[in-house]
Amino acid sequence: MLAPMDPEKRRAACAFLYQHWRNGTRCDGLPRGMQPEDRAQAYGVQADIEEYSARRPVGWKIAATSKAGQAHIGVDGPMAGRLLAERAIEDGADFTLGNNLMKVAEMEFAFRFGEDLEPRAAPYSQREVLARVSALHPAIELPDSRYQHFEKVGALQLIADNACAHYFVIGSAAPERWRNLDLAEFVVHGMKNNALAESGVGANVLGDPRIALTWLVNELSHFGTAVKKDQVVITGTCVKPVPIAVGDRIEGDFGELGGIRIQIA
């Protein structure tokens, strides 16, 4: 691991990316003098995005949890990103597509924590992580990137840009019986305009959403970051991302675990 990025350089990199967030514009990549050189530096740039938010993050996302997703953006593993409070959309509300480059909706399992998970030297086991989960929710993510060619910039720049985090919807808590279900085999449907668009299973998310959740906790712990009580983690799309356009009605059908919807304005 390299030395931490110079604070001035780190803040400049985050400010550069945030300007594109705010203005809805794109760039080809971070200027050469601002690019992180390892994963720790990349997460350092990402962390500074909290300085532009009035509240602490709602939680976390995991990007690139499938082989297809990793191949699409040219990475070899998952990445963590922050869910900012200002980017939360109410279930059933309108979402303004605006200048969104990716133009997809992703159906995801979201886990809410009832206790903090502080960084530590030993990895957390899946059993330990799930014991601290207070609820499971259906979720929809509407990712985006500040890079014009996000599939070419590499993992470090993607992490610095908050792992393609943008807007998201968290649905109502699922019945507690979710704990007794095999989430790897659980089928999720992505609906568009009242018709089936895509279907998938939890195994599309690193083999199991619970495996992905444990990965996220340990990834953050390794870099000295806690997952806090009441934060949620969206674990990656279970279905092939659903293309969206203005006027579309998008629904996530999670069967007995509930549903979630938005209207693309």
pLDDT at 218: 98
List of the chain residues with pLDDT < 50 = none
Q: Right CATH number for 56-264 from 3.30.2010.10, 3.40.50.300, 3.90.850.10, 3.40.50.720?
A: 3.90.850.10
The tokens for 122 are: 């030993």
- Token code pair at residue 82: 């922050």
Please measure the distance between the N-terminal and C-terminal CA atoms of the chain and give it in whole angstroms. 44
User: Tens digit of pLDDT for each residue in 169-186?
Assistant: 999 999 999 999 999 999
- Between CA 107 and CA 200 the distance in angstroms is 9
DSSP output for 88-127: EE-TT-EE--TT-SS-EEEEEEEEEESS-B---SSPPPHH
pTM to 2 decimals?
0.96
